[in-house]
């Protein structure tokens, strides 16, 4: 059987790859010496060295920071548009401190930004409206 043209090229590539696989299998697994503290890893020869070098050429992807879900702090009970403040009913009053920057959401849309004042009574807080138009029932989150 004669092989010509493209078939010959494919056969040559197959034989070359087969030889590389067989030769690399003959070498067997090698135990690499440990890298010194703060130094470069030791040099490895042969096919293993080539493969290790290729692996170092591919940039490593950095993991993105873990997302922290927004925590619901409470809801708006009253809005005083003339005085530009709201009455906030907090779920966890201990999570809020004076001067905290807050945002309000209604139907997944930001409606306003608030700044918490030091005025409070139990779980109720007063917050100044810094921007937007909050509504009664809007959910409150930290900015």
Instruction: State whether residue 75 is helix, strand or coil.
Output: strand
- Same domain? For 52 and 78 the reply is no
The boundaries of the domain holding residue 50 are: 6-31+39-57
**Averaged pLDDT, 73-88:** 95
For residue 64, tell me if it sits in a domain. Answer: no
Per-residue pLDDT for 109 more than 90? yes
For residue 66, tell me if it sits in a domain. Answer: no
Burial class (CB in 10 A: 0-12, 13-18, 19+), 57: exposed
Give percent above pLDDT 90 in the chain.
Answer: 45
Q: Which of 112, 116, 118 is nearest to 132 (CA)?
A: 112
pLDDT at position 12: 83
Instruction: State whether residue 112 is helix, strand or coil.
Output: strand
pLDDT at position 100: 93
For the ranges 12-16, 21-25, 75-79, the lowest mean pLDDT is seen at 21-25
Give the residue with greater pLDDT, 19 vs 1.
19
pLDDT band for 143, please (50, 70, 90 cuts): confident
pLDDT at position 69: 82
- Same domain? For 83 and 125 the reply is yes
Q: How many structural domains compose the chain?
A: 2
In whole angstroms, give the CA distance from residue 68 to residue 46: 47
Question: What six digits make up the tokens of 92?
Answer: 């966890």
For residue 108, tell me if it sits in a domain. Answer: yes
Q: Are strands 101-106 and 109-121 parallel, antiparallel or unpaired?
A: antiparallel
Per-residue pLDDT for 16 more than 90? no
Which helix (H) or strand (E) is 15 found in, with range? helix 6-27
- Same domain? For 100 and 51 the reply is no
Which CATH number fits the domain that encloses residue 109? Answer: 2.40.10.170
């Amino acid at each position: 059987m004669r092989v010509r043209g493209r078939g010959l090229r494919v056969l040559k590539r197959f034989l070359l790859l087969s030889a590389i696989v067989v030769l690399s299998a003959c070498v067997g697994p090698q135990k690499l010496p440990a890298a010194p503290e703060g130094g470069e890893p030791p040099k490895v020869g042969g096919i293993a060295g080539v493969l290790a070098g290729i692996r170092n050429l591919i940039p490593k992807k950095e993991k993105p920071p873990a997302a922290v879900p927004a925590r619901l702090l409470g809801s708006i009970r009253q809005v005083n548009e003339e005085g530009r403040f709201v009455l906030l009913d907090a779920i966890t009053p201990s999570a809020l401190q004076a001067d905290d920057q807050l945002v309000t959401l209604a139907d997944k849309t930001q409606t306003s930004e608030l700044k918490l004042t030091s005025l409070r009574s139990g779980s109720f807080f007063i917050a100044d409206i810094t921007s937007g138009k909050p509504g009664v029932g809007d959910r409150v989150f930290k900015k």
